[in-house]
């Protein structure tokens, strides 16, 4: 016997988990078909249905029917979370189950002691409602496909296992079969509205007229054919969470606990012939909030000492905002590194050591300040991003623009890093700088060239910029590059020669 | 006097390479006190005409002498761009020919592969050899970073730069190459400038400065960047270094340029020297209308006279002294104004149509001319209708006469157009362009795209607001919020700004629907030509208004669906042995025809079938032809139902006193009861009240008919007021005059147009009354046209006792046909998804032998799978012996069709019949009537059976109290009623102040609702989106016109009713 847990309007339910929320709501999605770029409603709640909003309408049509209609868009995160809950529930019932689709799990109950299917069905429905506010429908039947059809029609539990299912099937709408669109179109033209109508067609004629796909449907729905489940094996859990009895405000007890947790996780990994490819650390603070950090292990390993040193190095300079009450460690499993270096390609002698050093640096400087600087493709001088080293190791390709080749040989510019802030007096007639006052450069300006004006990102309120640059010759000697950003923010950026 | 002239500037007519209208750039240049400016659009002189007129306006209004110089940036093979300036007319002609050469050739396969962002048919490149061929009279600049010289210098390759310069010198000659330097405040440009100056000095070339302008002011950078992104198909975030580094490429004043080049004053002064050498402006275009080749022994004038008199005998039978006098008068003036050739050439085009049995009718002011009537150009008897020839041509009026020719739309019009192309081949004829500008929908979609706003939000904005012009920033802001952009969206201000800036800028060049220009010389010496999107068509780079303003004569060859329908009608009548002569039926005022018009039974009738016209007809009650001309002209839907009945109607019914504002206007306004209805009357009023000269009246005429600019209208009106002030016209009278002229501008119509259209309106109404079967068949065969869908036309036919028989493969022809006086048969052309080849094959095979079975039909006609399904679905196969009903056919056609083989081919027909009879019947149930209805709409968009509302009423009988459309006339005024039906028309005329008109069709007729603006705002989405509506409101019955003043709208609660219908919305 098979059971199907079916969550109707899954994409919507994944986001609408508040049972008291009765505002009419629709979820819209843009079809990937080239001839229909409009976002169409793909799921609705009952309140919206009551107001005659229908799936397949555009958002505007839906709002025409119901001015108050709330429009949601698919959320991958919410869907993944809801699916995770569904899988967890499935695995608690049967080891042999299939993740049939988003919001659909098919369970093979053969060999399980599930007892009465009605009882089991209600239990599953209630558990989902209680723990996650997801509304489920459960169907039981002798084949997976029939069980799915039963689930789609259940209210909320229905079983046709061991019964004569003719009457039930007769009444099911043909859509319950989810036939391919071209077959649906022909069946609609034929006036075939129910599975009963469909089954009433001679099998040979169905095959002759609609092809093998339709025949397959016909055989599956008539119970003449059952398919095998594509079984899901849940991933092993390589994480552990420790809640401290007392608030921890020093490093030592935290490290002590973390070493023990690492030992456990590494033992589990080793038992599964796996290694740790990444360690994720999560700390929860007593006053709310927390800290999360992922450590990529360049050379995946189960060596506790090495992993521990990586965490230790990072936490040495870490300052928690509040005492810690919970620590959680999770290892993302990986197979052992398999990498063949090219003949002249130098490899890191000890990638994990390198990672450990990076972790220490990030702890000291902040993660946004460690990596490989990469120029951005824009006119803004020195605009760059930091590409993580780990990314650089695993992915040698970069989309960053190559530095422009300059053919013009002039005086070299030695940049001040960071630039020196300066007060600059400008001429009232032409706004040229005439006097500089800064820690390094002071005095009157004898001559200047410029301004070189550049600006960009004018469309983005938060990042628009503009600057003017001048090359100045000081009366006392020395050629400098001067830049003014914003209204009056002057900097000496470098010295020529 | 300023000492700098900008010689390198692009306008938005460089399409995605310039950010402002040419007029704006010219006005800004004049504001900076420049005496001239050169517009150098990319690969064309698209904006030059507009720049030229802007310069003329400056002269006219401010007395400023400003020369709009001509040039273009020409793209060479290899993508290097050379800016070229025009010295002389020869130079202009050469530039036009050079551009035409590249444009007509299009891109080579390699070029197209290398430049996937270009349009291979429309973008063209020219070779250096071609430039050399056409270099005479031209000056070239060294160009910007798109040019070969700067590109080389930017690489530091000074040798290549010099080599490119030497090539340029070789092509244009040393004295015609000018080195151009820029200062855009960019680091590194000085190094390039030094090298350019050195190159100039080495080769003895003049050096000038320019700002390589892209916009009139600094703000233009935003649009320029947005256009750069669009051109490269990226958004602003990912455009990176494709974008401008700063906002310096705007039109700078001479003072700014002098300051920028203070160290090299000579490069500023040199701009004047170069400008002095550019003698050519569009003032000296050199266009000539072709001469007509008169037969031996004739000149143009004598031949025109002979043709006119020959035609007069045909038209009138006998030439009375009155006719002779009029013809002599007209011919004298035409000859004096040297327009004889023009009339003969237009007649020649008319003859081309006649030779191909194509109906043709001239309209426009030509309808005032007896000569045009006699030449067969128009069908309006100007003498009989007492039309004044002076409204068409007068001695004071110097512009060319305007003759538009209406032709049957579709293939027949194309045949005439192609004949004209052939006659003036290879480069003597082209269509005028149609400049497509950014409007609500395109502005939002494209600016939203460059700002990376989600498609969905843009779609929602376009769906709800796309068609309306939103000028007010706050309103636009609000509309964007309603479309789903968050109030705090960081890009909202940029989107609002870009939307407003791009609105009305040219987006691309299309083809005008019918404007053709011809010359017997080479047209490509007048204006560059390029390929149109349509095969075998070429367009010029200017639109029809620009052409007209430059004195280029265009003949409009317009396609009218009704002409095609009328021609078909005439042919059908002839075939059926009851021929009609279109020229004759208009001569007698037929009471039955007017009865039908008075009853507003005008679905399908030309010009008077719209919702507003139908509301006016019972009030105006036309009884003679001129009444119908007034009816055509009096298109004021807003005030009529909005409670403000048109003053003409009030005066006609005696509810309002006739008032001429001033007795002096009586001669002009008498025929329309003191209300100016026609353009000619408005001009006469201006001439009387303000002593407007012929040319000033012409200016007013153009302002009224010019949709392009409100500014133009305002200017003429202030001129009119000033003239009236001078004449001492009292302020109150002035207000009345200007008020009536301004309101006229919203709905005005020239009398001659109205009469020409009224002829067609009368002819189509007459056909509907006296040749109903032919009329409906012709209409159905020429869809889409007119106001109503085919479903509504079929329903109307049935209401007129015409039996409409369904498509049937055993009798239906390709087109709809008449089976008997009151019976028509739908043709295979009504079937969606059945292509014309299959339809023709079905008819041809049937004529060989009847189809004896489904297999016989399928084997012989081989329709596609979709075609088979649609034919079965609509019941067209039911006639076959082995088909019992539609589902039976749908079952059988799905059986795979065997390829015909030897076995089959020799199988006898009786054997086939026997075999098919033995075939089992399908297990499918017969369609119920409602399913048949849906299948009809799916397959044809219409049904010959009951209207969907008949089913809906049955289904909803306990839920609603909907009135039937036919019962509304029985109600009491102001009674609260509820109507429901299929929406066939939604209208929001510009003159109706936001009020909307909705027509709902049910099984008894059409019910009309007036939706006030505030009710529309409340139910906007329901009204615009729902296919079936229920409208509740107050019944209004006035002057036999029934409508509902809507108070509430909702969707018809009829689930599962989805029909493939079309409504006529917001046109």
Minimal CA separation from B121 to chain A, in Å: 24
Determine the Cα–Cα distance for residues A29 and B454; give it in Å rounded to an integer: 12
Report the CATH superfamily, name and number, of domain A2-28+39-159. Reverse transcriptase/Diguanylate cyclase domain (3.30.70.270)
> What values do phi and psi take at A492, rounded to 5?
-90, 120
List of chain B residues whose C-beta atoms are within 8 Å of the C-beta of residue A460: 237, 490-491, 494
- B1026 touching A, CB under 8 A? yes
Q: Is A52 within 8 Å of B887 when comparing Cβ atoms?
A: no
Residue-by-residue DSSP string for B674-712: T---BHHHHHHHHHHHH---HHHHHHHHHHHH--S-HHH
Question: Which has the closest alpha carbon to A149: A223, A44, A213, A224?
Answer: A223
Distance of alpha carbon B613 from its chain centroid, rounded?
Answer: 22
Closest approach of chain A CAs to the CA of B82, in angstroms? 25
B889–chain A nearest CA distance, Å: 10
Whole-number pLDDT of residue B554: 85
Give B852 to chain A, closest Cα distance, Å: 22
Nearest CA in chain A to B1023: A64
Interface contact flag, B924 A191, Cβ < 8 Å: yes
Question: CB A407 to CB B155 under 8 A?
Answer: yes
> How far, in Å, CA of A219 to CA of A210, rounded?
13
B241 with A37: Cβ contact below 8 A: no
Do residue B490 and residue A462 have CB atoms under 8 angstroms apart?
A: yes
- Residue B457: closest CA among chain A residues belongs to which residue? A39
CA distances from B986 to A368, B502, B982 (A): 58, 29, 11
Q: Is B923's Cβ below 8 Å from some Cβ in A?
A: yes
CATH for A239-334, options being 3.30.1490.100, 3.90.580.10, 1.10.10.60, 1.10.3470.10: 3.30.1490.100
- Contacts B924 to A, Cβ<8 Å: 190-192
Mean pLDDT per block of 10 residues along chain B (1067 residues) reads 88 95 96 95 96 91 89 94 96 96 91 88 92 96 95 92 96 96 94 95 96 96 96 93 95 95 95 95 84 88 93 90 92 88 91 91 82 89 79 70 86 91 86 90 92 82 68 77 78 91 92 85 90 88 88 88 92 91 77 93 91 85 89 60 62 85 82 81 80 73 62 79 85 81 67 85 94 95 88 92 94 94 93 93 93 90 92 93 90 79 51 55 85 91 90 78 89 91 81 79 90 87 84 88 91 71 61
| Chain centre distance of CA B788 | 19
Q: List CB contacts (< 8 A) between A67 and chain B.
A: 1021
Cα B317 to its chain centre, rounded Å, is 40
Size of interface A-B (CB pairs under 8 A): 119
CA B821 to chain centre: 38
Closest C-alpha to A22, from A44, A43, A46, A42: A46
Closest CB to B248 among A377, A408, A453: A453
pLDDT, average across residues A405-410: 65
| Euclidean distance between CA atoms A100 and A103, whole angstroms | 8
Contacts of A201 in chain B (CB under 8 A): 923
Between β-strands B506-518 and B429-437, what pairing exists: parallel, antiparallel or unpaired?
A: antiparallel
A61 contact residues in B (CB cutoff 8 A): 1021, 1025
Distances (CA, A) of B353 to B349, B415, B420, B519, B906: 7, 8, 10, 20, 49
Q: What percent of the residues of chain A are helix, what percent strand, and what percent coil, each to the nearest 5?
A: 35, 30, 35
Encode pLDDT of B119-142 as tens digits.
Answer: 888 898 999 999 999 999 999 999
To test the contact with chain A by mutation, choose from B187, B228, B493, B934 the residue with the greatest count of A C-beta atoms within 10 A, namely: B187
Do residue A459 and residue B890 have CB atoms under 8 angstroms apart? no
Interface of B with A in 437-496 (CB under 8 A): 451, 455-456, 459-460, 463-464, 484, 490-491, 493-494
Residue B894 C-alpha from the chain's centroid: 44
B71, B137 Cβ separation under 8 angstroms: no
Paired tokens of B544: 């029809």
- CA nearest B405: which of B546, B516, B519? B516
Contact map slice: B 858-887 vs A, CB within 8 A: 869, 872-873, 887
Count of C-beta atoms within a 10 Å radius of residue B299:
12
β-pair partners for A304: none
> A233-283, pLDDT tens digit by residue?
766 788 898 888 888 888 888 999 999 999 999 988 887 778 898 899 999
Question: Which of A71, A202, A379 is opposite residue B241, by nearest beta carbon?
Answer: A379
Of residues A191, A408, A459, nearest to B236 (C-beta): A459
Tell me the shortest Cα–Cα distance from B861 to chain A, in angstroms.
20
Sheet holding B823-825, edge to edge: B803-805, B823-825, B817-820
Cα angle value B335/B336/B341 (rounded, 5°): 35
* Sign of CA pseudo-dihedral B519, B521, B523, B525: negative
Q: Quote the tokens at residue B155.
A: 């690489």
| Structure token digits, residue B1031 | 């409208």
Angle at A269 between CA A268 and CA A271, to 5 degrees: 65
What pLDDT, on the 0 to 100 scale, is given for residue B1053?
Answer: 82
Report d(CA A206, CA A213) in Å as an integer: 10
Please name which of B1023, B536, B286 lies closest in space to residue A63, comparing C-alpha atoms. B1023
C-alpha separations of A205 from A213, B869, B897 in Å:
13, 17, 14
Nearest residue in A to B1020, CA atom: A64
**Contact between chains at A191 and B493 (C-beta distance less than 8 A):** no
Q: Which residues of B touch A205 (CB under 8 A)?
A: 923
Query: Which chain A residue shows the shortest CA-CA distance from B242?
Result: A378
Q: What are phi and psi for residue B16, nearest 5 degrees?
A: 70, 15
The DSSP call for residue A142 is S
Q: What is the pLDDT of residue B909?
A: 52
Q: Do B451 and A459 touch (CB under 8 A)?
A: yes
- CB-CB neighbors (< 8 A) of B483 in chain A: none
Of residues A39, A64, A449, nearest to B1021 (C-beta): A64
- Are B2 and B34 in contact by the 8 Å Cβ rule? The answer is yes
Interstrand relation of A290-301 and A275-285 (parallel, antiparallel or unpaired): antiparallel
**Residue B703 vs residues B27, B392, B696: alpha-carbon distances, Å:** 20, 18, 11
Please give, rounded to a whole number of angstroms, the shortest distance from the CA of A66 to a CA of chain B.
9
Percent of chain A at pLDDT exceeding 90: 23
Contact A447, A474 (CB under 8 A): no
CA dihedral A172, A175, A176, A177 (to 10 degrees): 110
For A81, A124, A158, A301, B484, the CA distances from A131, given in Å and listed in that order, are 13, 11, 22, 37, 34
Q: Give the three-class secondary structure for B175.
A: helix
Q: Is B891 on the interface with A (CB under 8 A)?
A: yes
Cα–Cα distance, B958 to B641 (Å, whole number): 32
Q: Is A58 helix (H, G, I), strand (E, B) or coil?
A: strand
- Measured in residues, chain B has a length of 1067
Higher pLDDT, A83 or A339: A83
Could B1026 and A64 be called an inter-chain contact, meaning their C-beta atoms sit closer than 8 Å? yes
Q: How far apart are CA B108 and CA B607, in angstroms?
A: 47
Contacts of B246 in chain A (CB under 8 A): 453-455, 466
| Helix-strand-coil split of chain B, %, nearest 5 | 50, 15, 35
Which chain B residue lies closest to A205 (C-alpha atoms)? B895
Q: What is the pLDDT of residue B906?
A: 45
Nearest CA in chain B to A375: B240
For testing contact with chain B, the best of A385, A459, A471, A485 (most B CBs within 10 A): A459
- Tens of pLDDT, residue by residue over A40-78, are 888 888 888 888 788 888 777 787 777 788 888 888 888
How far apart are the CA of B243 and the nearest CA of chain A, in angstroms?
Answer: 8
3-state SS, residue B1001: strand
Domain ranges of chain A: 2-28+39-159, 165-222, 239-334, 413-496
**What end-to-end distance do the CA atoms of chain B give, in Å?**
51
Structure tokens at A453: 């004006």
Does the beta-carbon distance from B873 to A458 stay under 8 Å? no
Chain A residue at shortest CA distance from B1055: A52
CB contact under 8 A, B894 and A210: yes
H-run or E-run covering A450: strand A442-456
Determine the Cα–Cα distance for residues A377 and B483; give it in Å rounded to an integer. 33
Q: Output the six-digit token pair for A351.
A: 């990638």
The residue of chain B nearest to residue A182, with distances taken between CA atoms, is B866
Query: Min CA distance, B453 vs chain A (Å)?
Result: 12
CB neighbours (10 Å) of residue B324?
12
Of A65, A450, A461, the CB nearest to B1051: A65
- Which residues is A333 bridged to in the sheet? A276
* Closest to B281 in 3D by CA, of B73, B55, B433, B25: B55
Given the DSSP bridges, would you call strands A70-72 and A25-30 parallel, antiparallel or unpaired?
parallel
> How far does A214 lie from chain B, in Å, by closest CA?
13
For residues A90 and A120, the answer to whether their CB atoms sit within 8 Å is no
The confidence score (pLDDT) of residue B70 equals 96
């Amino acid at each position: 016997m098979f059971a199907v847990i079916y969550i109707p309007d899954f994409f919507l339910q994944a986001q609408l988990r508040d049972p008291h929320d009765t505002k009419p709501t629709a979820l819209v999605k843009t079809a990937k078909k080239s001839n229909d770029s409009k976002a169409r409603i793909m799921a609705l709640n009952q309140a919206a249905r009551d107001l005659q909003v229908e799936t397949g309408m555009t958002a505007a049509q839906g709002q025409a029917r119901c001015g108050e209609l709330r429009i949601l868009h698919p959320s991958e995160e919410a869907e993944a979370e809801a699916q995770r809950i569904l899988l967890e529930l499935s695995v608690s019932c049967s080891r042999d189950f299939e993740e049939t689709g988003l919001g659909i799990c098919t369970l093979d109950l053969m060999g399980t002691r599930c007892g009465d299917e009605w009882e089991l069905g209600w239990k599953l429905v209630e558990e989902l409602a209680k723990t996650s506010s997801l509304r489920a429908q459960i169907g039981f039947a002798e084949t997976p496909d029939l069980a799915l059809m039963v689930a789609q029609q259940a209210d909320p539990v229905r079983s046709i296992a061991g019964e004569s299912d003719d009457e039930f099937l007769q009444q099911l709408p043909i859509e319950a079969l989810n036939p391919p669109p071209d077959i649906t179109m022909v069946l609609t033209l034929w006036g075939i509205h129910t599975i009963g109508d469909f089954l009433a067609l001679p099998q040979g004629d169905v095959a002759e007229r609609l092809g093998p796909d339709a025949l397959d449907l016909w055989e599956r729905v008539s119970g003449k054919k059952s398919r095998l489940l594509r079984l899901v094996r849940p991933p092993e859990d390589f994480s552990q969470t420790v809640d401290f009895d007392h608030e921890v405000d020093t490093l030592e007890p935290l490290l002590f606990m973390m070493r023990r947790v690492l030992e456990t996780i590494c033992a589990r990994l080793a038992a599964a012939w796996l290694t740790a490819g990444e360690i994720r650390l999560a700390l929860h603070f007593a006053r709310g909030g927390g800290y999360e950090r992922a450590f990529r292990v360049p050379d995946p390993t189960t060596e506790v000492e090495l992993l521990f040193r990586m965490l230790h190095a990072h936490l040495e300079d870490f300052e928690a905002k509040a005492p810690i009450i919970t620590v959680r460690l999770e290892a993302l499993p990986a197979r052992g590194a398999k990498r063949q270096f090219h003949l002249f390609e130098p490899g890191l002698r000890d990638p994990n050591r390198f990672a450990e050093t990076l972790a220490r640096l990030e702890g000291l400087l902040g993660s946004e300040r460690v990596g490989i600087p990469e120029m951005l493709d824009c006119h803004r001088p020195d605009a760059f991003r930091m590409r993580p080293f780990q990314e650089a190791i695993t992915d040698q390709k970069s989309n960053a623009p190559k530095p422009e080749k300059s053919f013009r040989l002039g005086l070299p510019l030695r940049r001040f890093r960071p630039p020196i802030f300066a007060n600059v007096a400008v001429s009232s007639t032409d706004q040229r700088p005439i006097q500089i006052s800064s820690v390094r450069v002071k005095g009157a300006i004898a001559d200047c060239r410029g301004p070189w004006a550049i600006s960009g990102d004018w469309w983005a309120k938060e990042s628009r910029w503009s600057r003017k640059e001048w090359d100045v010759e000081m009366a006392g000697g020395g050629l400098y590059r001067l830049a003014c950003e914003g209204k009056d923010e002057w900097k000496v950026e470098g010295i020529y020669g | 006097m300023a000492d700098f002239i900008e010689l390198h500037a692009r306008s938005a007519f460089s399409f995605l390479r310039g950010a402002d209208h040419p007029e704006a750039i010219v006005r800004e240049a004049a504001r900076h006190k420049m005496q001239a400016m050169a517009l150098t659009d990319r690969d064309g002189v698209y904006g030059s005409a507009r720049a030229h007129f802007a310069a003329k306006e400056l002269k006219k209004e401010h007395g400023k002498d400003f020369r709009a110089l001509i040039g273009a940036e020409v793209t060479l093979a290899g993508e290097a761009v050379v800016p070229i300036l025009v010295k002389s007319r020869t130079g202009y002609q050469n530039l036009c020919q050079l551009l035409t050469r590249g444009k007509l050739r299009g891109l080579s396969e390699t070029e197209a592969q290398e430049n996937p962002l270009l349009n291979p048919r429309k973008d063209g490149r020219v070779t250096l050899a071609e430039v050399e061929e056409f270099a005479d009279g031209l000056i070239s600049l060294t160009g910007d970073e798109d040019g070969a010289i700067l590109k080389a210098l930017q690489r530091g390759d000074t040798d290549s730069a010099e080599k490119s310069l030497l090539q340029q010198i070789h092509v244009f000659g040393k004295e015609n190459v000018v080195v151009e330097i820029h200062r855009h405040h960019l680091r590194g440009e000085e190094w390039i400038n030094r090298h350019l100056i050195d190159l100039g000095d080495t080769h003895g070339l003049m050096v000038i400065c320019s700002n390589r302008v892209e916009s009139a002011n600094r703000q233009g950078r935003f649009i320029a960047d947005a256009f750069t992104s669009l051109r490269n198909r990226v958004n602003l975030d990912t455009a990176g270094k494709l974008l401008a580094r700063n906002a310096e490429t705007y039109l700078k004043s001479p003072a700014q340029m002098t300051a920028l080049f203070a160290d090299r004053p000579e490069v500023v002064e040199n701009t004047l020297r170069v400008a002095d050498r550019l003698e050519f402006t569009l003032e000296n275009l050199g266009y000539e209308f072709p001469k007509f080749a008169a037969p031996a022994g004739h000149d143009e004038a004598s031949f025109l006279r002979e043709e006119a008199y020959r035609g007069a005998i045909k038209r009138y039978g006998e030439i009375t002294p009155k006719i002779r006098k009029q013809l002599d008068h007209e011919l004298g003036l035409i000859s004096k104004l040297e327009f004889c050739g023009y009339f003969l050439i237009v007649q020649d085009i008319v003859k081309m149509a006649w030779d191909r049995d194509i109906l043709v009718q001239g309209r426009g002011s030509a309808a005032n001319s007896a000569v045009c009537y006699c030449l067969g150009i128009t069908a309006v008897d100007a003498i009989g209708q007492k039309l004044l020839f002076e409204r068409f041509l007068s001695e004071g009026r110097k512009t060319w006469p305007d003759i538009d020719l209406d032709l049957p739309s579709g293939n027949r019009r194309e045949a005439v157009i192609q004949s004209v192309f052939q006659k003036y081949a290879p480069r003597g004829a082209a269509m005028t362009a149609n400049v497509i500008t950014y409007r609500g929908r395109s502005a939002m979609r494209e600016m939203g795209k460059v700002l990376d706003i989600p498609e969905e939000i843009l779609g929602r904005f376009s769906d709800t607001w796309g068609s309306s012009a939103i000028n007010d920033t706050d309103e636009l802001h609000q509309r964007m919020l309603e479309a789903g952009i968050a109030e705090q969206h960081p890009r909202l201000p940029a989107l609002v700004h870009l939307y407003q800036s791009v609105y009305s800028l040219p987006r691309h060049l299309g083809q005008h629907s019918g404007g053709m220009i011809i010359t017997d010389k080479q047209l490509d010496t007048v204006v560059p030509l390029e390929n149109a999107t349509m095969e075998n068509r070429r367009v010029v780079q200017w639109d029809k208004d620009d052409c007209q303003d430059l004195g280029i004569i265009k003949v409009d060859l317009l396609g009218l669906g009704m002409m095609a329908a009328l021609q078909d009608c005439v042919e059908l009548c002839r075939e059926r042995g009851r021929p009609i002569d279109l020229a004759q039926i208009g001569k007698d005022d037929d009471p039955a025809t007017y009865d039908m018009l008075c009853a507003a039974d005008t679905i399908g009738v030309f010009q008077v079938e719209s919702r507003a016209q139908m509301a006016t007809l019972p009030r105006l009650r036309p009884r003679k032809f001129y009444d119908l001309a007034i009816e055509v002209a009096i298109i004021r839907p807003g005030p009529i139902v909005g409670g403000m009945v048109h003053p003409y109607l009030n005066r006609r019914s005696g509810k309002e006193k006739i008032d001429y504002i001033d007795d002096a206007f009586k001669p002009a306004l008498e025929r329309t009861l003191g209300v100016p209805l026609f353009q000619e009357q408005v001009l006469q009023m201006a001439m009387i009240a303000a002593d407007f000269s012929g040319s000033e009246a012409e200016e007013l005429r153009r302002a009224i008919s010019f949709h392009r600019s409100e500014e133009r209208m305002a200017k003429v009106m202030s001129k009119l007021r000033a003239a009236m002030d001078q004449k001492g016209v009292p302020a109150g009278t002035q207000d009345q005059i200007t008020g009536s002229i301004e309101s006229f501008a919203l709905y005005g119509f020239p009398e001659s147009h109205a009469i020409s259209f009224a002829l067609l309106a009368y002819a189509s109404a007459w056909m509907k009354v006296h040749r109903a079967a032919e009329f409906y068949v012709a209409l159905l065969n020429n869809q889409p046209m007119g106001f109503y869908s085919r479903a509504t036309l079929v329903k109307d036919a049935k209401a007129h006792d015409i039996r409409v028989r369904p498509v049937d493969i055993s009798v239906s022809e390709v087109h709809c046909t008449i089976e008997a006086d009151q019976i028509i048969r739908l043709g295979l052309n009504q079937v969606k998804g059945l292509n014309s080849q299959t339809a023709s094959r079905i008819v041809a095979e049937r004529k060989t032998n009847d189809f004896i079975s489904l297999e016989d039909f399928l084997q012989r006609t081989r329709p596609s799978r979709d075609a088979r399904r649609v034919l079965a679905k609509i019941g067209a196969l039911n006639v076959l012996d082995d088909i019992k009903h539609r589902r039976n056919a749908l079952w059988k056609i799905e059986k795979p069709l065997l390829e015909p083989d030897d076995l089959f081919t020799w199988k006898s027909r009786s054997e086939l019949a026997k075999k098919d009879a033995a075939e089992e019947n399908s297990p499918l149930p017969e369609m119920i009537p409602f399913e048949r209805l849906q299948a009809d709409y799916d397959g044809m968009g219409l049904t010959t059976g009951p209207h969907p509302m008949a089913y809906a009423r049955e289904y909803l009988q306990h839920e609603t109290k909907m009135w039937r459309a036919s019962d509304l006339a029985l109600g009491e005024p102001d009674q609260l009623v509820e109507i429901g039906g299929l929406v066939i028309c939604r209208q929001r005329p510009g003159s109706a102040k936001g009020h909307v008109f909705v027509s709902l069709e049910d099984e008894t007729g059409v019910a009309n609702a007036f939706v006030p603006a505030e009710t529309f705002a409340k139910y906007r989405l329901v009204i615009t989106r729902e296919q079936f509506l229920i409208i509740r409101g107050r019944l209004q019955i006035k002057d036999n016109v029934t409508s509902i003043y809507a108070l509430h709208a909702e969707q018809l609660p009829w689930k599962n009713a989805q029909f493939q219908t079309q409504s006529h919305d917001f046109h």
